[in-house]
Chains A and B, each alone.
Chain A
Amino acid sequence: MATSIPVSSQSQGGVGTAPVPHTEHDDHLHEHDDHHDQHWMWKYVFSQDHKMIARQFLITGMIWAIIGGALSSLFRLQLGWPEATLDWLKPVLGKWIEGGKLDPEFYLALVTMHGTIMVFFVLTAGLSGTFSNFLIPLQVGARDMASGFMNMLSYWFFFVSSIIMFASLFLETGPAASGWTIYPPLSALPQAISGSGMGMTMWLVSMVFFIVSQLLGGVNYVTTVINMRTRGMSMSKLPLTIWAFFLTAILGILSFPVLFAAALLLVFDRSFGTSFFLSDIYIAGQALHNQGGSPVLFQHLFWFLGHPEVYIVIMPAMGMVSEILATNARKPIFGYRAMIGSLIGISLLSFVVWAHHMFVTGMNPFLGSVFMFLTLIIAVPSGVKVFNWLATLWRGNIRFTAAMLFSIGFVSLFISGGLTGIILGNATLDIQMHNTYFVVAHFHLVMGSSAFFGLFAGVYHWFPKMFGRMMDEKLGYIHFWLTFAGVYLVFMPMHYVGIAGFPRRYYSWTGFDAFSQFADLNKFISAAAILAFFAQFVFIFNFFYSIFRGRRATENPWNSTTLEWTTPIVPGHGNWPGEIPAVYRWPYDYSKPGAEEDFIPQNVPYSQTPSSNLPYERELAE
């Protein structure tokens, strides 16, 4: 086929002159533009367009992140200044402040909701929901998701779930308060804690909607990646982002139903008198009839989701970071196949390590040995990823965009948090470390902050494609350095507190001699956490300002190789006005020797780049 692709010959490397190989048939330009006069209701609210759904997920996720962060600031106030009077919060918290003190049960509710919101609503829905939706069709070369309708449902189930969870914050008896892991019997018995009344009911109902949303989304992502790749886009030419989203979706499909089962059984125990998780309980002056149930069974079911869940959170971030590091180091990602292999390895292993959360719950010690072995193996593929990222930077030509900074920050945080996993995965050492602040510091670095950094990197990087404008780079730098320093100032000292054995989910440590020595450090952590939280408003401002007033973007502002940058500045419904471009090469042809530009987009055939083809590629050029 005779093509007329102008291969980036006139570009000077600056913004605005980025070469965008046009797709073949410009006469089809308006073929897919026929939706532009839709009613706003279908365009902005009940949209079936994957890009709009992605924006909906993103903005809902951001609102949740602000709420989740604000909750953590509240309980950090309590932990940093246990003696302080909090009367000034009474206008907001009402009866939860009594005599100038935060109510201890409400403290537990804050901790619980912070965890629930951040893990599920921000880092699962907000991160994976946004970028899987946005990037999968654009990067595999599809007009939209396999089922736009299911995709819309996925968002609206998430929305309903959000509304229910949000409403539960305002209940008379308070929201769920038994920890985000909702271990029964505490979560099953309203006599045990008031949050286990209506709050827990709403938590469970909300999670059911959430799981439905995840499954609808996940099935869609998997189907789209398998079936709707454009011509030439074999699995071995997929960008790593897509590999990460694909495997994440599979993890979600396989693990979320188990949480559904656990939640359902818990609903039965709570409301219909069954004894799946309850046995031999005497509470509030009464012996309950339940016998034969096992609370440990619930933990198995919960963590069978719960552990893959942390990879559901982190893998999309890994994929995006791989992409952004390669683009901005102007180098191919090092060890593309090893990166895919390690993602697959992590995905498989993530299903057989769950009981490392349960070493000291009374589980058979033999199981503990097995899970220790499997858990520590997962360090190997994780290590491979880190080394490959480092090798990608090596001898690169690095542009520090805000997205790049956050990606480098991601790698740093992932290393810092990942390494302490080697301690916690060791059953022997976990005897002492279990449920201490060491655990809190570990997972906040490795999956909390890292995933947040991935999310920020993704937003900065793909913002031009999402909104047609650029975010302000300078504000991005400020946001990055404040956040990066803030995260380390919060979580590094937290390890010390953890090594000293401070238990998590404690309203205050003043009752124990053993936990009396770190009042100053806790104050410091609290101050850093609250400052880091406020630094996020720089981002919020930048985000909303740039949507309306940001500098106009070009089609390919980062000189990137993947397909989404071959679309118009703001892709319409159907993504490409003409035919979908075909793919000829892998997504990481950056700085290829002999090429005129320092990048060759995926849709440029080898026949057009004779000067840079590698020996085996010459045959493909025929």
Chain B
Amino acid sequence: MTTLTILLVLALLLVVFGLLFRIQILTAIFSGSYVKQIGTSNRINALLMLVFMVVGGIAFFWSFADNFSKMNPPIASVHGHAMERMFWTTMIVIGIAFVITQALLFIYSYKYQHQEGRRAYFFSHNNKIEVIWTIIPAIVMAALIFAGWKAWTRITGPAPKDAIVLEVMGKQFNWLVRYPGRDMKLGVVNYRLIDAANDFGFDLSDKAAGDDFVASEIHVPKGHPVLIKIRSRDVLHAVYMPQFRVQMYAVPGMPTRFWFTPTTTTDEMRAKLGNPNFKYELACNQICGKGHFAMKLNIVVDEPDDYVAWFAAQTPISKNADLMASFKQMSKQTGLGKGGSQDAKEAATGEAGETVAPLAAQASL
């Protein structure tokens, strides 16, 4: 009933609007202003162009300044600081272009509004200025490309040899984390061995797998390079860690990676922001289904000593009876996990024969 009333009211309003509109036109016809094409409206629109520029410009700069402190996620990685500088440098460059072109657009619109008896200037081309305004943007672009390319090469280049390695696996709708354990080698995993107790699909016939351990959140040491290996076991996900300026897709069937060096521990960041509840977070940033928006993992940046202590206190998966039983059963069922062929290893780790950091690196932190 309410809906019907609302619809009725809307329909009547529409009718009223239509009638008013008609009356306005009829009066305009009688007053003779209807057929005049270029009149007051032209001046009003020209003026509005100017007003729009001034009011809009002020509103934009005010709101930008007002929100500035909120729009900068705190930075906690080495390359993050470089990226931030590049971002704001680029913003200044495009900001200048923005102000100049928009100002010209609105000012010209106002200034060159129609005037009776004036004629537009017949000006069809001018090679010299066209060359100038082609070359200047080209040079600016070249500079931005060069800076971007240098940084990109460095950030996506190979991780330092002594980087801490850990693996994140995306699944609908949470993240799994594992560490290589004392041997510093991530063991083989196989998606066919996955079940409720063994959600990574560990292949325990691989010697390197037994001492791997899983964690409910990511721990990384401050000031030490960290290589995150990334995989997905169902659909696409993306590892997005805004404070570390890290983002990389998790692709089923194709392991990916990203390395970075954290610069600020969680505690330091809490003190810095004055927020005792601050947490580094990892968000999924590639649409993955119903729970996409809640696919979160906490990250803790420790002092190196705390990290080593945390690392030592973890329980390897070989001590997990459920997981072992599950593996045996799945292994029997599928015929997999009996000695782990080299193929399986390669498929699982993505890069066979890679040297991983020795435990010494861990202890020497």
Chain A interface residues (CB < 8 Å from chain B): 14-16, 91, 104-105, 108, 178-179, 183, 185-186, 189, 192-193, 278-283, 287, 291-296, 329-338, 360-362, 365, 368-369, 372-373, 376-377, 379-380, 383-384, 386-388, 390-391, 393-400, 405, 408, 411-412, 415-416, 419-420, 422-423, 426-429, 431-432, 434-436, 472-475, 477, 481, 484-485, 488, 492-493, 496-497, 499-501, 503, 505-509, 511-515, 517-518, 521, 541, 545, 549, 551, 588, 590-593, 598
Contact = CB atoms under 8 A, between A and B. Distances in A.
Given A278-B252, A408-B109, A415-B105, A426 B21 contact: no
Contacts of B97: 415, 419
B41 A496 contact: no
A477 B45 CA distance: 8
Interface in B66-93: 67, 70-73, 83, 86-87, 90-91, 93
A429 B86 contact: yes
A500 B90 contact: no
B288 to A, nearest CB: 6
B83 A432 contact: yes
Interface in B1-50: 3, 14, 17-18, 21-22, 24-25, 34-38, 41-42, 45-46, 48-49
B108 to A, nearest CB: 4
A496 B65 CA distance: 10
Given A91-B3, A332-B124, A360-B247, A394 B240 contact: no
Contacts of A503: 240, 283-285, 293
Contact of B71 (A369, A499, A513): A499
A11 B246 CA distance: 66
Give the size category of B's interface with A: 35 or more
Contacts of B160: none
Contacts of A183: 236, 286-287
B112 A295 contact: no
Contact of A511 (B98, B155, B290, B294): B294
B153 A400 contact: no
A416 to B, nearest CB: 7
A477 B283 CA distance: 44
A89 to B, nearest CB: 11
Contacts of A373: 145, 149
B133 A387 contact: yes
A429 B242 CA distance: 12
B90 A365 contact: no
A411 B103 CA distance: 12
B344 to A, nearest CB: 11
B148 A428 contact: yes
B102 A393 contact: no
B339 interface: no
Contacts of A292: 253
A21 B17 CA distance: 41
Contact of A427 (B41, B141, B152): B152
B315 interface: no
A376 B248 contact: no
Contacts of B277: 513
A501 B73 contact: yes
A419 B249 contact: no
A488 B46 CA distance: 19
B152 A281 contact: no
A429 B21 CA distance: 51
* 9 nearest A-B residue pairs (beta carbon): A279-B253, A365-B156, A501-B242, A362-B256, A400-B45, A395-B121, A591-B120, A426-B148, A419-B94
B152 A514 contact: no
A572 B331 CA distance: 77
B348 to A, nearest CB: 9
A193 B108 contact: no
B251 A512 contact: no
Contact of B122 (A372, A436, A593): A593
Interface stretch (B56-64, B178-186, B206-214): B56-64
Contacts of A475: 21
Nearest to A405: B45
A481 B44 CA distance: 12
A500 B56 contact: no
Given A192-B172, A395-B112, A331 B90 contact: no
B194 A287 contact: yes
Contact of B120 (A108, A330, A427): A330
A492 B83 contact: no
A192 B67 contact: no
